Structure 1
Amino acid sequence: MDSWLRFNSQSQAKEKMLRAAQYACTLLGYTLHKGGAGAQLAQTVGQLEAHLSLTRKLLRLGNSVEAVEAAKRSVHLSDGVLRLCITVSHLNRAMYFACDNVLWAGKMGVVSKVDQHKWSQRSFKYYLFALILNLTRDVYELHLLMEREARQRAAKSPPSRDPSPDLSSPAVAASVALPYLLTCLHRRLHLLATVLHNNPPLLLDLLRNTCDIFIPLDRLGIYPTGRGFVGACGLASSVFSILTILHPWLKLKP
């Protein structure tokens, strides 16, 4: 099992490079179509995109095993929210990869009479749910870090001695409410920016999952965005994934 996991981790870098190339082809194909390029060139780009997709499916044949192993490890996390989000996300990824393997087997002729549309829709549903859980985990961790940063700031700053305004008058309350809300909003945004700046792995994971979620939303017809936007999001998220492979400290843990 350990040797297989080591081999699979090495193939992930190749898969991410192919993913970036595939979505680059998607974006290029959309650009060529909008620019009125020749049909032959657009067809060539489309064929290249299809070959890259098929090659990626081949490299992902063992990813279900890795996802299940990751789910087993995350079961022991002490934080209940993280344990739920990460474990169920890994299990959904395992199902997504299993559906992807069926699609590959059908396209290669290993298994006959595979309903490509049905299995594709099923795989994107698992993928979407996994991404929703990933984003939930990101927001939860962001909330914890913001609360901790706020407590640290409160401990360092002296208590305010400014007299509280008299809010018994509606006119005074109305004049104070808007500036107060703007001040609170500015403080929260500054706190958010500080936390994300100090935690690049969380920022990168949040950006990657946000980009990725538009792909299944488009493919399932829940929120159609078009090939150009999907290609741009897929390319951006692939670059973020490659960064976490090149610099492991950028990978969000656990």
Structure 2
Amino acid sequence: MRFRSKYNPWAAQYACTLLGYTLQKGGSGVQLLKMVKQLETHMSLTRKLMRLGNSAEAVEAAKRAVHLSDSVLRLCLTVAHLNKAMYFACDNVLWAGKVGLLPKLDQDKWSQRSFRYYLFALMLNLTRDAYEIRLLMEREARTSHGGSNATWTSSPSPENGDLSHPHPSSSSFPVAILPLLSERFSRQFHLLGMVLRSNPPLLLDLLKNACDVFIPLDRLGIYPTGQGFVGACGLASSVLSILTIVHPWLKLKP
């Protein structure tokens, strides 16, 4: 029941957003566009109704995150959950305004406030993902290429007294260093690919947060992308969330 109530309205809402954009671009009739817009609004209200009580869950998650041993994860997850709690609380206030319980509510103001909390939570989640990726890449580099650093540092150089390799001129130095930079970036991308392939929960969480972040960026006017892109990102994020419910092992922990 939790799966049906929590994620279906979210997916349906952004599916309607994407459908409305597609119909508008295709020159569909005004009546059909109005019907899709009304359905999107209904799905949004349903989603907000289903979120009553999610603030308390987010606060409880923040309490658990406070006890994590890793200081970076502790900071990112605790503050992210607290921002989610504020985001859900603003969403609940918006729902009360839309259904008439708070008729004088400034909905634009509360909507902007809600999306600011949402954006900050997503930025912290992306920071957490980047931190975990860096740790796993360093671990993979140590296990797979343990001797590469020694080889690099022991290479002869003119500064160490080896005159058999003269220092390149200033004009040829950038050209000479490009292959080294290219090789370094290639190794880093290879490590990144290995880490993400071997950690599906981390990959899904990264993709979901990357999709989600465009929604508040657009709504706040920081990086406008349009209804079509927002609808596609919201729908993709919903599908990824559904995957973590169908297959719980895909949910990133803690």
Q: Which TM-score applies when normalising by structure 2?
A: 0.91
Counterpart residue number, 2:46: 55
Counterpart residue number, 1:5: none
Cα deviations by residue, 1:185-215 (Å, 9 ceiling, x for unpaired):
1111111111000111111000100100000
One-letter amino acid of the structure 1 residue matched with residue 168 of structure 2? S
Counterpart residue number, 2:32: 41
Aligned positions of 1:212-231 closer than 5 A: 212-231=212-231
Q: CA deviation at 1:175?
A: 4.3
Q: CA deviation at 1:12?
A: 4.9
Looking at structure 1, the residues matched to 189 and 70 of structure 2 have their Cα atoms a distance apart, in angstroms, of 26
One-letter amino acid of the structure 1 residue matched with residue 248 of structure 2? P
Relative to structure 1, is the Cα distance of residues 123 and 86 closer, same or farther in structure 2, using a 3 angstrom cutoff?
same
Looking at structure 2, the residues matched to 159 and 86 of structure 1 have their Cα atoms a distance apart, in angstroms, of 37
Counterpart residue number, 2:18: 27
Q: Which TM-score applies when normalising by structure 1?
A: 0.91
Sequence identity of aligned pairs in percent?
67
Aligned alpha-carbon RMSD (Å): 1.9
Counterpart residue number, 2:161: none
Looking at structure 2, the residues matched to 167 and 247 of structure 1 have their Cα atoms a distance apart, in angstroms, of 59
Consecutive unaligned residues of structure 2, counting only runs of 5 or more, are 158-164
Looking at structure 2, the residues matched to 167 and 157 of structure 1 have their Cα atoms a distance apart, in angstroms, of 24
Counterpart residue number, 2:160: none
One-letter amino acid of the structure 1 residue matched with residue 206 of structure 2? L
Consecutive unaligned residues of structure 1, counting only runs of 5 or more, are 1-9
Q: CA deviation at 1:247?
A: 0.5
Cα deviations by residue, 1:167-200 (Å, 9 ceiling, x for unpaired):
6122664443111111111111111111000111
Counterpart residue number, 2:248: 248
Q: CA deviation at 1:112?
A: 2.8
Larger-Rg structure: 2
2:97 aligned with 1:88: no
Kept in 2, the 8 Å contact 1:90–1:130? The answer is yes
Counterpart residue number, 1:155: 146
Kept in 2, the 8 Å contact 1:85–1:137? The answer is yes
